[in-house]
């Protein structure tokens, strides 16, 4: 799986280089680097406490009047999961989910300075690790195995900082549950159990460099027509 991911990155990056040389006026190449703040809804822990990488190349195709609209496709390495730090080491919990993701988004860009977009993403788990202890084993009983595939919706906002550098914030949420867990409520007598469906809940903060994007032309100062 790791070899396939490396090959996909190589092919994708090669496509960006070719697009810059052959179709520089029609297709843009970009590279994004940032971090995910994540939680898993349905694991009874709250807070975006799990931090992970979000990195990968993308291609952008502008279209429409004045090229204000664009469609983009990315190939990302994205780390998600959940983390809870208890009062002691015995109550710590960590879930690490590493994905290879392919987001597809449509953006509208205003005045070449701010951009908003929506889209979908397909992801495949390439690494999984869960660290818990007997305390959590008594609370959780998984009814289904972890799904290797993820389908999610995305909302994205970007602001142009300088030249070809953009800063963005992205929100992403799973469209279907990753797995089902039976949770035991230890605060009731007799103890009761209920079913929870787990979903990835992700906020991403990142920087994006668009290699062959045209620069913003400076507007000439307005002439002063006031006469003395």
Per-residue pLDDT at 87: 64
Residues making up the chain, counted from first to last: 228
Tally of structural domains, the chain = 1
- Is the residue at 155 inside a domain? yes
- Is the residue at 106 inside a domain? yes
pLDDT in tens, 155-173: 999 999 999 999 999 999 9
Do residues 168 and 158 touch, judged by C-beta distance below 8 A? Answer: yes
Percent of the chain beyond pLDDT 70? 77
Tokens representing 52 are 């992970």
Do residues 58 and 72 touch, judged by C-beta distance below 8 A? Answer: yes
Q: For the chain, what is the largest distance between any 2 Cα atoms, rounded to a whole number of angstroms?
A: 90
pLDDT in tens, 56-96: 999 999 998 888 999 999 999 999 999 988 765 667 889 99
167: domain CATH number is 2.40.160.20
Tokens representing 102 are 């392919």
Mean pLDDT of the residues in the chain: 85
- Is the residue at 160 inside a domain? yes
Per the model's pLDDT, the better-predicted residue between 109 and 17 turns out to be: 109
- Is the residue at 9 inside a domain? yes
Long-range contacts of 63-72 (CB under 8 A, 24+ apart): 68/108, 68/109, 68/110, 69/106, 69/107, 69/108, 69/109, 70/28, 70/106, 70/107, 70/109, 71/104, 71/105, 71/106, 71/107, 72/30, 72/103, 72/104, 72/105, 72/107, 72/117, 72/119
- Is the residue at 140 inside a domain? no
Q: Which among 127, 121, 71 is positioned nearest to 98, based on CA atoms?
A: 127
Mapping DSSP to helix (H, G, I), strand (E, B) and coil, where does residue 166 land? strand
Lowest mean pLDDT among 111-120, 155-164, 183-192, 198-207: 183-192
Mapping DSSP to helix (H, G, I), strand (E, B) and coil, where does residue 19 land? helix
Per-residue pLDDT at 123: 97
Per the model's pLDDT, the better-predicted residue between 215 and 153 turns out to be: 153
pTM of the model: 0.83
Q: How many CA within 13 A on the CB side of residue 112?
A: 13
Q: Is 150 exposed, middle or buried (0-12, 13-18, 19+ CB in 10 A)?
A: buried
Q: What is the domain extent for residue 206?
A: 2-131+147-178+201-210
- Is the residue at 62 inside a domain? yes
- Is the residue at 8 inside a domain? yes
Lowest mean pLDDT among 114-118, 163-167, 212-216: 212-216
- Is the residue at 98 inside a domain? yes
């Amino acid at each position: 799986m790791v070899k396939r991911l490396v090959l996909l990155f190589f092919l994708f990056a090669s496509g960006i280089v070719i697009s810059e040389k052959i179709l520089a006026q029609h297709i843009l190449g970009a590279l994004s680097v940032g971090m995910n703040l994540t939680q898993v809804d349905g694991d009874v822990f709250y807070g975006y406490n799990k931090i992970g990488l979000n990195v990968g190349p993308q291609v952008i195709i502008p279209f429409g009047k004045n090229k204000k609209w664009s469609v983009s496709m990315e190939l990302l390495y994205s780390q998600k999961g959940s983390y809870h730090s208890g009062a002691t080491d015995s109550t710590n919990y960590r879930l690490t989910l590493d994905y290879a993701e392919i987001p597809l988004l449509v953006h509208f860009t205003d005045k070449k300075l701010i951009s908003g977009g929506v889209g979908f993403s397909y992801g495949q788990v390439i690494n999984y690790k869960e660290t818990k202890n007997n305390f959590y084993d008594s609370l959780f009983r998984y009814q289904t195995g972890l799904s290797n595939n993820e389908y999610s919706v995305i909302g994205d906002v970007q602001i142009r900082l300088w030249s070809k550098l953009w800063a963005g914030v992205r929100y992403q949420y799973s469209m279907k549950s990753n797995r089902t867990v039976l949770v035991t409520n230890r605060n009731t007598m007799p103890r009761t159990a209920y079913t929870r469906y787990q979903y990835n809940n992700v906020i991403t903060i990142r920087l994006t460099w668009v290699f062959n994007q045209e620069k913003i032309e400076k507007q000439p100062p307005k002439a002063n027509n006031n006469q003395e």
